[in-house]
Amino acid sequence: MSTVNSNKKSYNETEIVNYYTDFNAAGLFHYEEILIEKYFKTEGRTLDIGCGAGRVTIPLYERGYQITGMDYAEKMIAAAKAVNGAIDYRVGNILSAPFEDQEFDNVIFSFNGLMLLESYEERLSAVKEVCRLLKDDGKFIFTTPYLDNKVKKSYWSEKAETLGIDTGNMSWEQQLELGDEQLEDYGSEFYLHVPFISEVEQMLEEAGMELLFSARRLDYSGTEKMEDESDDNYLWVTTCKK
């Protein structure tokens, strides 16, 4: 089974669906509120990719955004509709989204969701698809974990040693290999890629994206109310080079 199918299977598991439904209570993270207020058009159409049970979708809907939530896990979408049936939710995959060109003014892919895609090529394809969906001057907000300040920590240095990787002199392929992780939570397995910042920057360049803003979350907006559910991640805001 591919990692994408494995992730999709896990996100359809009852315990995981229940976790994300309960997690709706967290609402928008502080950094999401800041970036959305700064970069998104309230009057425009908004797409929430990997919407889960609606943690981001619901508060944006309540603030007047014309929002569509999309997730490839059918049971997540069913849970989201059960919470609020008035919101436009779709089952769909960002590798081939069921929308027309330039349909959205705003796109968000929260909670490191882009890094759940199994290869650099798929992540690049997803960003290109976002660019297809965005209107001229539309904005894309997403987050990623990142490896730059972690490679010297024991877990990563031991992993690098096991893989025969010299972290001081890595090839492109070795950077990608080091960042690939198989995780387990609530008895389900997940794939997650932890990139270096330069990898994300290269991906955006190849996808025809212009970088408007990037920062380490903790430096930009500080700790969150639910910090134990967060990650030392990186924030990104881009637009397409039309």
The pLDDT tens digits of the residues spanning 176-185 come to 999 999 999 8
What tokens appear for 128 in the block?
């290109």
Sheet holding 134-144, edge to edge: 88-91, 66-71, 45-49, 104-109, 134-144, 234-240, 209-216
Q: Once rounded to an integer, what is the mean pLDDT over residues 46-72? A: 98
What value does the mean pLDDT take over residues 170-176?
A: 98
Phi/psi region, residue 163 (left: phi>0; alpha: psi -120 to 50; beta: rest), is alpha
Examine the pLDDT at 1 and tell me if it is beyond 70. Answer: no
Cβ–Cβ contacts within 10 Å for residue 19, how many? 16
Q: What 3-state DSSP class applies to 224?
A: coil
Look at residue 2 and tell me whether its pLDDT is greater than 50: no
Q: What is the percent of the chain where pLDDT is above 90?
A: 91
Q: pLDDT value at position 13?
A: 96
Beta-bridged to residue 55, according to DSSP, are none
Q: What is the DSSP letter of 235?
A: E
Q: What is the pLDDT of residues 110-169, one digit of tens each?
A: 999 999 999 999 999 999 999 999 999 999 999 999 999 999 999 999 999 999 999 999
Q: Provide the β-strand partners of residue 109.
A: 49, 142
Are the C-beta atoms of 47 and 104 separated by less than 8 Å?
Answer: yes
pLDDT at 9 over 90: yes
The reported pLDDT for the residue numbered 175 is 98
Number of H helices, E strands in the chain: 10, 9
Share of the chain above pLDDT 70, in %: 98
Q: What is the pTM of this model?
A: 0.95
Mean pLDDT score across all residues of the chain: 95
